[in-house]
Structure formats: C-alpha cells, structure tokens
C-alpha cells in the first residue's frame, strides 16, 4: 500500500515536472508580447480599419527570408524595398526567395483576390513563425510594408549603422484599406527652390504615412523650375531667382524624370503645376512677348502704387499682379508647348494648371483661359486639375477642382459635376504658423495647431457636396518662409500624419484624444529619421513605456 502511494506521488511529481518543462519551452518559443511591441501595434498611423493582437511575438533574425508568391509585376520591387529598408539598422543580409513557400521565419508577400481590400488595401498577419502580407496589387503590399515598419522598433529607421535592438513584432492581424483614393501633399518649389534630393526625402516622409500624391508647384511669380526645351529662357532666366533674392534653380527634364521614377517606386503620383493665367511673372520676365498690354489690368497703377510691376524680376511675396493675355496668339503657343512637354515626361494622368488668385485678369478673359486650358490638357491625354477658382469655367466630371478657401466655388464645382480635392487653408496649409510664437510660417489663413489640423472631416466641410464627388485630401506647403529641408520638416511635422489619417481612415474611428497618444509615439521614430519636428504642447510627447511606468511608480509612491 505504502509502495503504491509512493509510486503514485513520484509519477505525479515527474509529470508535473515534465509539464513545467514543456510550459517553459512553450513560453520560450511563443514569447509573449512586450509592452513596447504592444504599444507599436496599437499606435499605427494612419489608423487601420481593424487591428487585433494575439499576445505573442515574432522576432526578425538574420535567417528571416522575404518570400514572394505569384508573378505579378511589381511584387519583387516591394520585396526589394523591404529588404533595403531593414538591412542598415539590423545588419541582416535578408535573403529573397520567389518560390512562394510559406516556410517558418519568413515574410511572405502574396497577391490575393479580396474585394473588400480594393486597389490599395492589405492584410498583414503576424504569427510566431511568419509574417504574411496579402493584397490585390503591389501598391497594397507596399502600404502593408510601411505598416510593418511601424510595428518594428524605431531603431529600424537608422540608415547609417546597425542598431542594438531586439526586432520584436507583436502577433496579430491588421486589415486595412483607404477611405479616399487621393491622399497627398503639395510642395512649393517656386518661392524657394528645393533640389532633387530634398524632394526625394519629402517623398519618403509622406509615403511612410501612406500618402500617394505629390503635387509640385513648379512655376510662380518668383521662379520657374522646369526645363522647357522649346522655351529655354523659362529655366535659364526665370529659374535664376526666388523669394528674398536667392539664386533659385530649376530641374532639367532628366532631373524631373528622376523625381517621377523615384516617386513611382514609392507608389506616389507626381502632379506638376504650371500656375496660369496669374502667378506667371517668371515667364513674363523670361519672354517679353508674353507680357500683356496695359489695358489688361483691371485697375490703374495709381490705385495701388506699391504693387509689383509685371514683367520685372520679383522676389517678394505679394500675389495677384501678373497675367497672360488671352488675345495674343503667342500666349497659347506658349501654353501648348509647356503642357505638351510636361505631359510627355509625366506618366501620371494629371496636369495642374493653377488658376488661383488671378486678380488682374478680367473675369471673361479668365473663363476663356480656363476653357482653353481644359482643351489643351485633354489634347495631351491628361486630366485637368486646378484651384477652386476654375469652377467659374466650363468644368465637368473630367475636371478636378482643389478647394482651398471658398465654399461657394466648391459648391459651384460640385454642381457642374467636377470632382473635388479638399485642402482647406484654415486646416491643412502646412505653411501656417502653429501659434504666434512659431519661428516659421505665415498666419493669413489661421494659426493652425496640430489638434485643429486633425479635427475636421472632408465629408462635412462644405454643405451640399455629395461624398461621391470627394476624391480626397491634400496638404499644401507654400514656401515663402521656407528655405531648408529642416524648415520644411518643422512645419510639416507633426501635422502631416494627421492629414494622412484623415485621407486614409474612417471618420467614425478618429478621435483627437486617442490620436494624440499615437502621434506622440511616433516621435522616437522621427528622432531616428532626423526629422526636425515641432514639439507641440498639444501632444503628450512622453508616452514611451518607460515614461508611463515612471509615472505609475510616482503616482503609486505619492498615494502612499
């Protein structure tokens, strides 16, 4: 009897020991989600449609493979982007395979047929053994790869040397797709010129937050920034100046193609803008025959004696003093040639003709201009985009109108069947100062703090516009006060990620108090990316896990 009991006790003891050992092995293999990995999973910007954690961890190692499945063109490019992005910080020479085998310790990129995901959506599934990104197209895989970047520690953004970090990713499933198809930013390279490398950096920064349009404002009163071979003085003379009297600059057509190709590799469409019939002084300086006669001006010179003189070099910031002449034959030879050459080197479907602030262009002439521009753009196989004032012309469903100020013009465009992009100056003009103490920017539209920039909805911004007519959002950065890349970053961050979320995420899932925490969690990543951002007092920047733990400890001690 005693022996039997002892044997039973020994069996129970040994069994318990084996179970404990198995439990330890299981925990070793299925490592639970760390607070840091959980925070990254919950902090993605733009906010996904759904994101559900499962409580474990995948760890990226030097043996991880990037595997592609299927033969759809462009999938390998996403794989290469991902490998190139992960290599510098990890030091891993990740292997790429095209065999489609779903092995352990792999990142699988696969084309699927999932109607809900649409053209740009993706599903990202992380298990202990594998990461799988599926999408209907390479662009969806690319956005999934951008989300994967945010799931990794911020040190993954270190492009200079290997970082000392544990490359842990929380397990779970993310399903995601955009609300709007047009999610963009505009960069004004006319008031101050920014070279090819600066534009490439800007492309990288906006693509991190799934923006897919870069609108380049490449001509204005202060400078002409694109080589036009049939009108060489536009660049050679018009490109020499900028606001404040600096040396200016311009893109050769090869430079421009390099920008376009780089943007394409990030699934971003470049939309060039030649601003007409106003904002055209750099062209008037370059070719005197484009200058209109004095009868074109609405008001005599004595009415505004300090107004800049059209046709003379101008490096200030006043607007609305220049115009083309609708009655001159050379005017439309110029317009035809410029748009023809630009269309030939722009693979995207759009040409932006400006059309704003044409203060000295008489209204009948202005309308005639817009109608002619529309025909010329169409003849070159493109779709016309213009600022909201173009709604006065014969716009229709083939035209895209960019709303920036006037609700009347926005409604007028909608009534004529045009599609709209929303760029309300009081919300998303990134060149506006944050407050009266801001070191850069202007405030003619408003002081725009980061919370104000986030708290609005395109669908309700203007009464009387059907949601189906809204293509999306675009955040312009005018460069009157912007000279360096650091200047750009200071005004763009932290506001741009919020605009990106407005364009991507459903409005009923957005809340400032929740978003500002996610935004604060991006700061560590921006530090590694060397982004010179504005530390808004509206954002609780100290939201790292360590800081939160310290706050809890302090609160606990104080309560005792």
Structure tokens given for 171? 């397990």
- φ/ψ of residue 214, rounded to 5: -120, 115
Task: Tell how strand 50-59 and strand 168-176 pair up.
Answer: antiparallel
Under DSSP, is residue 184 helix (H, G, I), strand (E, B) or coil?
strand
Closest CA to 316 of 481, 444, 433: 481
In contact, 345 and 257? CB cutoff 8 Å? yes
Looking up tokens 């604060």 gives: 520
- Which DSSP category does 226 fall into? B
Q: Are 342 and 374 in contact (CB under 8 A)?
A: no
DSSP letters along 400-430, please? EEEESS-HHHHHHHHHTT-EEEE--HHHH-T
- Report CA 336 to chain centroid distance, whole Å: 30
Which position among 42, 258, 357, 524 bears the catalytic label?
A: 357
* Alpha-carbon span 555 to 558, nearest angstrom: 5
- Residues 516, 453 contacting (CB under 8 angstroms): no
- Exposure letters 359-371 (e unless 16+ CB within 10 A, then b): ebbeeebbbbbbe
Angle 48-84-268 (CA atoms, 0-180°, nearest 5)? 50
Identify the bridge partners of residue 251 per DSSP, sorted by sequence position: 226
| Gap between the Cα atoms of 529 and 535, Å rounded | 15
Helix or strand holding residue 284 (H, E)? helix 281-286
Q: Which of 35, 133, 53, 19 is nearest to 543 (CA)?
A: 35
Residues in the chain, how many? 560
Q: Please name the residues in contact with 511: beta carbons below 8 A apart, sequence gap of 6 or more.
A: none
Alpha-carbon dihedral angle through residues 451, 352, 245, 310, given to the nearest 10 degrees = -120
Interstrand relation of 400-403 and 383-387 (parallel, antiparallel or unpaired): parallel
- 415 in active site: no
Beta bridge partners of 56: 32
The catalytic residues are: 357
């Amino acid at each position: 009897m005693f022996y039997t009991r002892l044997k039973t006790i020994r069996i129970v003891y040994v069994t318990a020991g084996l179970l404990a050992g198995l439990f330890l092995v299981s925990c070793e293999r299925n490592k639970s989600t760390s607070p840091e990995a959980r925070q990254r999973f919950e902090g993605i910007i733009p906010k996904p449609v759904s994101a559900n954690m499962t409580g474990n961890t995948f760890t990226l190692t030097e043996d991880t493979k990037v595997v592609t499945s299927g033969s759809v063109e462009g999938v390998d490019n996403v794989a290469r982007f991902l490998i190139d992005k992960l290599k510098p910080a990890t030091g891993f020479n990740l292997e790429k395979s095209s065999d489609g085998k779903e092995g352990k310790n792999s990142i699988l990129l696969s084309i699927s047929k999932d109607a809900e995901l649409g053209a740009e959506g993706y599903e990202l599934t992380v298990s202990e053994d594998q990461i799988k990104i599926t999408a209907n197209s390479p662009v969806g895989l690319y956005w999934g790869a951008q989300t994967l970047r945010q799931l990794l520690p911020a040190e993954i953004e270190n492009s200079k040397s290997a970082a000392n970090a544990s490359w842990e990713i929380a397990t779970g499933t993310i399903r995601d797709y955009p609300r709007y198809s047009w999610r963009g930013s505009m960069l004004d390279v006319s008031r101050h010129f920014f070279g090819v490398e600066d534009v490439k950096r800007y492309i990288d920064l906006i693509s991190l937050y799934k923006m897919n349009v870069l609108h380049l404002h490449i001509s204005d009163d202060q400078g002409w920034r694109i080589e036009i071979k049939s009108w060489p003085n536009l660049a050679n003379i018009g490109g020499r100046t900028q606001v404040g009297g600096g040396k200016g600059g311009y893109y050769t057509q090869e430079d421009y193609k390099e920008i376009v190709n780089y943007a394409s590799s990030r699934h971003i469409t470049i939309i060039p803008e030649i601003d007409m019939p106003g904002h055209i002084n750099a062209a008037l300086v370059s070719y005197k025959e484009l200058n209109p006669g004095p009868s074109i001006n609405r008001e005599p010179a004595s009415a505004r004696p300090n107004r800049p003189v059209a046709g003379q070099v101008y490096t200030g910031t006043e607007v609305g003093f220049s115009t083309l002449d609708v009655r001159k034959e050379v005017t439309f030879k110029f317009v035809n040639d410029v748009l023809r050459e630009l269309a030939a080197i722009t693979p995207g479907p759009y040409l932006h003709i400006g059309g704003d602030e044409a203060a000295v262009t008489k209204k009948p002439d202005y309308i005639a201009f817009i109608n002619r521009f529309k025909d010329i753009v169409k003849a070159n196989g493109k779709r016309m985009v213009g600022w909201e004032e173009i709604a006065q012309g014969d716009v229709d469903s083939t035209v895209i109108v960019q709303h920036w100020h006037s609700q009347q013009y926005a409604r007028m465009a909608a009534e004529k069947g045009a599609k709209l992009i929303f760029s309300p100056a009081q919300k998303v003009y990134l060149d506006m100062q944050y407050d009266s103490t801001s070191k850069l920017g202007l405030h003619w539209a408003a002081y725009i703090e980061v919370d104000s920039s986030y708290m609005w909805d395109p669908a309700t911004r203007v009464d009387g516009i059907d949601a189906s007519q809204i293509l999306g959002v675009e955040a312009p950065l005018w460069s009157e006060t912007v000279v360096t890349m650091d200047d750009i970053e200071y005004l763009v961050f932290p506001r741009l990620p919020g605009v990106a979320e407005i364009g991507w995420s459903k409005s009923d899932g957005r809340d400032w108090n929740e978003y500002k925490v996610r935004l604060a969690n991006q700061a560590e990543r921006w530090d590694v990316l060397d982004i010179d951002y504005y530390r808004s007092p509206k954002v609780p920047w100290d939201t790292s896990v360590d800081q939160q733990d310290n706050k809890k400890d302090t609160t606990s001690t104080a309560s005792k």
